[in-house]
Amino acid sequence: MTISAKIENIIKQSDKGKLIFISDFSELNNYDTVRKSLQRLVKKGLIIRISKGIYYYPKKDEILGIVYPSIEEIGKAIAKRDKARIIPTGAFARHLLGLSTQIPMNVIYLTDGSARKIRIGEKTIVFKKTSPKNLSYENQLSSLIIQSLKSKKENNITEKEKQIIKQIIIQSGKQKEIEKDIKNAQVWIRKIILQILSEIKNELA
């Protein structure tokens, strides 16, 4: 069986909706052939090219047609491939937390992997190298809250946003984990989150 046939069989046996990288076929020991094989499968219509070196085995909905992966799914898949840790920052963290409905054109992650920019359609995923300290949160919700607050100045945090964060924390039941995680956050961020946690404690008492 040729390398191209092997790659096609592997993809067809995969779950629909899977993101595919050239490195997924590293055991075949032929980067150029793998790359060309994937390009042929794009022309054949089996897979879709998402970005350079990133492909997608499309999942289809009877009404919506092809269901494309979200920017978050692509970011996580790249991090998994690179065995790197990532946390969303800025406007994207605010979007994931529910403080904003807009997905920014530049989606920015902090990472302990390689710094890079990846173009996905009209959007760009940016991986920024950071210190291990900034990735040390045990709970993902902690990092989302901290990065969301950090993206705005202290005086720009509205009462409505605090209430949204409070409800998210209550629903998560992760008060203790968040209180532990915020010890290394900036003083003003720690102050806001502690105030929210205090309100939750009083309400649930």
Domains of the chain, CATH where assigned: 3-67 (1.10.10), 70-136 (3.30.460.10), 137-205 (no CATH)
Reading the chain (205 residues) residue by residue, the pLDDT tens digits are 788 899 999 999 999 999 999 999 988 888 899 999 999 999 999 999 999 999 999 998 888 899 999 999 999 999 999 999 999 999 999 999 999 888 899 999 999 999 999 999 889 999 999 988 888 888 899 999 999 999 988 888 999 999 999 999 999 999 999 999 998 889 999 999 999 999 999 988 7
Separation between Cα atoms, residue 44 and residue 25, nearest integer Å: 19
What pTM was estimated for this model as a whole? 0.85
Strands 18-21 and 106-111 turn out to be unpaired
Separation between Cα atoms, residue 2 and residue 108, nearest integer Å: 40
Tell me what pLDDT residue 24 has. 93
Tell me what pLDDT residue 44 has. 94
Name the one residue in this structure whose structure tokens are 């809250």: 145
Tell me what pLDDT residue 29 has. 81
Separation between Cα atoms, residue 5 and residue 11, nearest integer Å: 10
- Evaluate whether 107 touches 92 at the Cβ level (below 8 Å): yes
Element (H, E) at 50: strand 48-51
